[in-house]
Amino acid sequence: MDLRHIRYFLAVAEERNFTRAAERIGIGQPPLSTQIRDLEEEIGARLFYRLPHGAELTDAGKAFHDLVRTLPDRVSEAAEAARRAARGETGQLRLGFTGTAALNPITTGTIRAFRRSYPGVDLRVQEQNSMVLLDQIRSGDLDIAIIRANGGDAPDLKLDLLYAEPLIAALPDTTAEVLCPAETPLSLPVLRDHPIILTPPTVGESLRKAALDACTGAGFTATLGQPAPQIASILSLVAAELGFSLVPASVEQLRVAGVRYRRLTAPEPTIGLAVVIPAHNPAVTAATFRRIALETARITPEAARSDRQGP
């Protein structure tokens, strides 16, 4: 059944006159009558009584009218809903991020900008380690993630580097007081005899590798201390004087009793902040979020820098 026939039927039913209905929809009266007859033949019932000066609905016409009167509006709404979904304005976005990525202002700024621009999207967020997040993207349980990485696409994933964030030292306060004044950059080799506290490789490789590479670049091989799975547990072990760690500069926002942060002498080692989506057929909402993340990183690069005013 052609939607055009429904619109013609509704026009005649509302005008109660074939001539006025034809003028309203912009066709001739004879073609309109022909279209209505075709509709009646398709349904197998007479829909109108043809009167000398108008038309009235039959009982069959009334029953038909009750069910189709909202159909054109519903079709228009459905078409607009499809267009909005195609533009990424509705639907769902399942976003994951690592604990340190969540602290970077690019991450929070992107989420804020996305929510303001696309309030109709159901945004679901979760924090996990990077290995789990990547597995969830591969399995289809997650649409997009913001992780710590320094580049390199996998065949099934597309990674865009948003920002190269400086690494800083997280030290027990007693160690910091002895080794380095608050406003003085720390020379990394002075920590060569202290164990470094990092995530285990099964949790996330990028930050761990960046920290170990920084030590190697400073001329020594780091001694591995007790591993910890999350940034909060890393800082807790640092506060307990079990070693030091190298963390992204934005982690300095976390004030943990017994922990002091220190900048490193130039050239500062860095760790990337990256957005990851499936390489093939990503969700429209994920592609939109990725675009906003790239714009946020490009337009406000300084937003990713911490104030570095810790004690």
pTM over 0.85: no
Q: Compute the distance between CA of residue 47 and CA of residue 61 in angstroms, rounded to an integer.
A: 4
Q: Which CATH architecture has domain 3-83?
A: Orthogonal Bundle (1.10)
Encode pLDDT of 243-301 as tens digits.
999 999 999 999 999 999 999 999 999 999 999 999 999 999 999 999 999 999 987 55
Task: Give the whole-angstrom CA distance, residue 48 versus residue 71.
Answer: 19
> Residue 2: its pLDDT value, please?
82
**What average pLDDT does the segment 1-5 reach?**
83
Task: Examine the pLDDT at 80 and tell me if it is beyond 80.
Answer: no
Confidence (pLDDT) at 305: 44
Q: Where in the chain is the domain with CATH 1.10.10.10?
A: 3-83
The arithmetic mean of pLDDT across residues 71-92, rounded, is 80
- Please give the Cα distance from 253 to 259 (Å, whole number): 12
**Is the confidence at residue 182, as pLDDT, over 80?**
no
Q: What are the residue ranges of CATH 3.40.190.10 in the chain? A: 91-162+272-304, 165-271
pLDDT recorded at residue 240 = 96
pLDDT at 302 over 90: no
Q: How would CATH label the architecture of 165-271?
A: 3-Layer(aba) Sandwich (3.40)
- Cα 273–chain centre separation: 15
Helical pair 71-86 and 3-15, crossing angle rounded to 10 deg: 140
Asked if 199 and 229 touch (Cβ cutoff 8 Å), the reply is yes
* pLDDT of res. 153: 61
Q: Concatenate the DSSP letters of all residues of the chain into one string.
A: --HHHHHHHHHHHHHT-HHHHHHHHTS-HHHHHHHHHHHHHHHTS--EEEETTEEEE-HHHHHHHHHHTTHHHHHHHHHHHHHHHHTTSSEEEEEEE-HHHHHSHHHHHHHHHHHHH-TTEEEEEEE--HHHHHHHHHHTS-SEEEEE------TTEEEEEEEEEEEEEEEEHHHHHHH--TTSPBPGGGGTTSEEP---TTT-SHHHHHHHHHHHHTTSPPEE----SSHHHHHHHHHTTS-BEEEEGGGGG---TTEEEE-BPSSPPEEEEEEEEESSS--HHHHHHHHHHHHHHHH-GGGGS------
Q: Compute φ and ψ for 55, nearest 5 degrees.
A: -150, 145
Q: Please give the pLDDT value at position 304.
A: 42
Quote the CA–CA distance of 11 and 143 in Å, as a whole number.
Answer: 46
Q: What are the tens digits of pLDDT across the range 109-137?
A: 999 999 999 998 999 999 999 999 999 99
- Give the angle subtended at the CA of 165 by the CAs of 242 and 198, to the nearest 5°: 25
CATH second-level architecture of 91-162+272-304?
3-Layer(aba) Sandwich (3.40)
